[in-house]
């Protein structure tokens, strides 16, 4: 059985999201570990899972966050 390509996935682990969206690893980790309740994070036991459709919707509504994550500022 082959592993699905990132383009085909609806759920990402944080490393896959960083790779797929070209994000700053440090800034994305800060966002995930913040106290803010983020609608695109789901938990599987202790693991954080990124829901692709919710992440994309959140970034459309918060373009300043997306720019910061991509530029690593």
* Residue 73 predicted with pLDDT over 70: no
DSSP 67: H
Give yes or no for residue 1 having a pLDDT over 90.
Answer: no
The pLDDT tens digits for 8-67 are 999 999 999 999 999 999 999 999 999 889 999 999 999 999 999 999 999 999 999 888
- Predicted pLDDT at 33: 93
Q: Please give the sequence-ordered ranges of beta strands (E in DSSP) within 7-69, or none if there are none.
A: 11-12, 41-44, 47-51
């Amino acid at each position: 059985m082959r592993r699905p390509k990132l383009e085909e996935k609806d759920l990402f682990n944080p490393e896959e999201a960083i790779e797929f969206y070209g994000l700053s690893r440090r800034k994305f980790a800060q966002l995930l570990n913040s106290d803010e309740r983020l609608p695109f994070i789901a938990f599987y036991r202790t693991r954080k899972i990124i829901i692709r459709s919710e992440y994309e919707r959140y970034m459309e509504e918060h373009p300043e966050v997306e720019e910061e994550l991509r530029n690593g500022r």
